Structure 1
Amino acid sequence: MSHRRFTPHPLVLRRVTVLRAVDVTPRMRRVTLGGDELGAFTRDGFSLPAFASPVFDDHVKVMFASEGPIEAVLPVQLAHGIDWPPSETRLGRDYTPRRVAEGELDLDFVLHADGGEQSGPAEEWARRATEGDELWIVGPKSSTILPAEADRIVLIGDETALPAIGRFLEERPIAGPVHAVITIADPSARQDLSSRPEDDVRWIVAAPGDGAALEDAVRTLDPAVFSGTPYVWAAAESRALLPVRRLLTAHGVPRSHTDVTGYWHARSVEETTAPDDARAASVPPPLPSPVGWFAVRAALQTGVFDSIDDTGSTAADLERRLGFGAGTAAPLLAVLADHGLLLRDDDRFRITEAGAELVADEHERERFDGLEADQVLALADLATALRTGSTAWEHRNGRTFAADAESDGEVGAELAEHAEGLAYLMPALLAVQPWDEGALLSPQGPGADVVRDALVPGSVAGRWTITDATGPSVVAIHAHALAHRTDAEAHRYLAALAETVEAVLLLEATNVDALNPSVSEDELVRVGVTGTGLRSADRLGEIAASAGWERADVQELGWGVSCLTLRPRTMAVLSESGEHAAP
């Protein structure tokens, strides 16, 4: 899997005020924000940096409360990041900074014809916004590093993408001609953009979320536009972008030169016609049958989705192509159709947009056919594990998850990929800098590459040195090194480091990420894999103490991740405490 490069930024919660609000078009309202907190400021004793948005498609999260005071839904500001406490009334929406000037920030809000069912809290706020109104924002958390070698640019989007497209055309972060395709719901939504004679900007009137219209418009572009080294950026309704993704793949545009992002998701007919009290009901839905999950897993693993023709395929067609036994494909296809991934037309089945979206989204696929799915499957032995005090993973696979990670390169690579999210927290780590100038720093663990990349500039400048060695003068930074280990394995891991380095920095999740919608299920999966839930900083300190270390400091980096500084305990302290046994 290829990954786009980005520059992380410190996450700051800011209170801004409306300076003015104007209608750019009948369907777009621009709100200009200002206030002291757009500059460097101090809150709760923390010195926080000025607002910065260097790239055209950065986004900030604007905060609203479905009910009650806004203060109840705001994140907690840390010295170098934020944490999100649980909240049932928090409503966050992402918006692109349209213009960033000295002391001012413009956000553009799409306006639906009558407000109505399509409008959300951000649009309703923007409609009423007047001078002096307050708004709370967070971010940007990162900026994409654009490919400098691109010789042409293709911008694709609907009205929600207009702020980013307009800003790109004004700032021109990449030289070269621009080919833009923009769908709008009404001719009145057309804006004056800073295009040049060599640019090609096409406006298409189509209903919001009309994927066919967007696909047809992109197909009208000269295929030569996609040859060479283009940079293709697209943002619209998530399912409307599926055919665009397929077109880019067909044209051979490398993923490193594409950025395709679903800005919003169209609600189904059932959702938009349900009464408000039904949509807001707090009664949890019934537990879904696991049969659908297993059907999707089997379809992905056997290539069912890839084998279905554009015109549709019968069960017998797929049995013949994939070598299935007679009569086995029909029940599988029927279940996939029941879940909206296939469409049944008499005896033929076609893949739906939802099915195509699943196949195209590598991260979504991992829920059914990847390490995440293997961890879920281990829960079949959860009852036995709970009774015996072991792990479900070990019962199912014959050895612990950590043992598999050490011996199986694919598992190790998956852990390293998961650790890439630490990149957003590297500005906080570098700001805290829990090591002395000139230190020897040794990144370790699944997140080692992320930490190493963040340390390189300081190493080049001579502020510290990156090493793979151990020794009494080395500070070892272990990133996500304990999360996949049992308590006993964590103890042995830390004990093996005793007297080999000057200090150990542990980068580990110690608090729940309340923005994760499946946090309770993820915690149960963690129990199945490691035999324990999320370890607090205190619990990690206890394990470290039993392994010969003393917790010297704890710094919260944000998003529930902490940096614990461990230093060797003296032999006298160890002897008095008797803390040699594994927890």
Structure 2
Amino acid sequence: MAKPEPRELEVLATRDVTPHMRRITLGGAGMASFPDDQASAYIKLIFPTPGEARPLMRTYTVRHHRDAEIDVDFVIHDTTGPASQWALDTQPGDRILIGGPGPKKLVNEQADWFLLVGDMTALPAISVNLGLLPADARGYAVIEVLDRADIQDLEKPDNLELVWVVNAEPDPDGQVLLNRVKQLDWQAGQPAVWAACEFQSMRTLRAFFKQDKQVAKSHLYVSSYWKMGISEDQHKVVKNQDAEQAGTD
């Protein structure tokens, strides 16, 4: 099946959700062909590169989807990349090409309890997942943020505990999220685990869930959204290589 042509969307609004997260609302005529109910699906922001054959593309999650508009949240670091710099600079009325949406990656709801884990890049997807869980769901969401001011008030089931990990420092060994997860009381019954974060953190979490906790493959989703020190294009290559290697383990 051929990929759909990119659609041009208009910037409708911009605002800072927290000091390190900026929300851009997109809409306009291009939304007429956008599928319904795409919160948590991914899209590709397409940036033309003068003189280059291929445009620059960056992947982001649809945080909210309302009639004729979507919200996209951007993590803002001290050192900005092309997408986050665009998010800082763009104004209502600007336009951008969007590819997708791609498929949603949701936690398996057929479980006794739930564990969602991620850094700020995964916060939009975790937020959508939390809002879709049954009202009686129990478990944890462990979320790493850069500053205490980045903690958000999220819609969630009453019996699911939000565990915020404040860490402004790089974590090249991928231990910060893993160490906090290890401190949790592992609940009885079948867990469903959803985790997304930096590449090395993903690998340490994946090993823990598969080897130490033996979470069933059907109930385990673990993905890296980025890798420290390299671009998204380079990360895609490393991610594919890692997936091939993990499949042979």
What is the TM-score of this pair, normalised by structure 1? 0.38
Distance 1:236 1:243 in 2: 11
Percent identity, please.
34
Q: Which of 256, 261, 267 is residue 229 of structure 2 equivalent to?
A: 267
What SS class does the counterpart of residue 175 from structure 2 fall into? helix
Q: Structure 2 residue aligned with 1:39, among 32, 42, 67?
A: 32
User: Which of residues 46, 62, 82 in structure 2 aligns to 1:63?
Assistant: 46
1:208 to 1:52, Cα distance in 2 relative to 1, 3 A: farther
Q: Report the counterpart of residue 123 of structure 1 in structure 2.
A: 84
> In angstroms, what is the RMSD of aligned CA positions?
2.8
Runs of 5+ consecutive residues of structure 2 not aligned to the other structure: 232-237
Q: CA deviation at 1:141?
A: 2.7
Provide the residue aligned with 1:105 in structure 2: 70
Structure whose alpha-carbon radius of gyration is higher: 1
Q: Structure 1 362/196 Cα, relative in aligned 2: closer, same or farther at 3 Å? A: closer
TM-aligned CA deviation for residue 209 of structure 1:
3.9
- C-alpha displacement at 1:88, in angstroms? 4.0
Which residues in structure 2 correspond to 1:408-557 (within 5 Å)? Answer: none
Equivalents in 2 of 1:233, 1:26: separation in Å? 26
Which residue does 2:176 correspond to in 1? Answer: 213
For residues 141 and 258 of structure 1, do their structure 2 counterparts lie closer, same or farther at Cα, with a shift above 3 Å needed? Answer: same
Q: Deviations over 1:480-511 (max 9, x none)?
A: xxxxxxxxxxxxxxxxxxxxxxxxxxxxxxxx
Q: Is the 8 A contact 1:27 1:112 kept in 2?
A: yes
Structure with more contact order per residue of length (Cα contacts < 8 Å, sep ≥ 6)? 2
Match among 56, 66, 69 for residue 91 of structure 1: 56
Listed one character per residue, the Cα deviations across residues 387-407 of structure 1 (whole Å, up to 9, x for unaligned) are xxxxxxxxxxxxxxxxxxxxx
- Give the equivalent residue in structure 1 for 2:118: 157
Q: Is the 8 A contact 1:223 1:251 kept in 2?
A: no
Aligned length: 239
User: In 1, Cα distance between the equivalents of 2:159 and 2:246?
Assistant: 40
| Structure with more of its chain in helix, by fraction | 1
2:145 counterpart (184, 187, 203): 184
Aligned to 1:52: 36
Task: Give the aligned partner of residue 127 of structure 2.
Answer: 166
Deviations 1:352-373 (A, max 9, x none): xxxxx99x9451468xx8xxxx
Determine the C-alpha separation between the residues in 2 that align with 1:168 and 1:124. Answer: 27
* CA distance in 1: counterparts of 2:176 and 2:61, whole angstroms: 24
Deviation of residue 208 (structure 1)? 4.2
Q: 1:139 aligned to 2:139?
A: no
Structure 2 counterpart of 1:176, one-letter code? A
Structure 1: state its 5+ residue gaps.
1-7, 41-49, 69-86, 272-356, 370-583
Distance 1:150 1:174 in 2: 13
Say if 1:67 and 1:189 are closer, same or farther in 2 by CA, change over 3 A: farther
Contact (CA 8 Å) 1:99, 1:106: kept in 2 or not? yes
What is the deviation of 1:111? 0.6
Amino acid at match of 2:32: G
What's 1:29 paired with?
A: 22
> Retained in 2: the 8 A contact 1:9–1:142?
no
How far 1:51 moved relative to its partner? 2.8
5 Å matches for 1:188-337? 188-206=149-167, 207-209=169-171, 211-224=174-187, 227-249=188-210, 250-267=212-229
Secondary structure, in 3 states, of the residue corresponding to 1:39?
helix
SS at match of 2:163: strand
Matched, 1:363 2:248: no
* Further displaced range: 184-193 or 131-140: 184-193
8 Å Cα contact 2:135/2:157 also seen in 1: no
Amino acid at match of 1:199: L
Higher-strand-fraction structure: 2
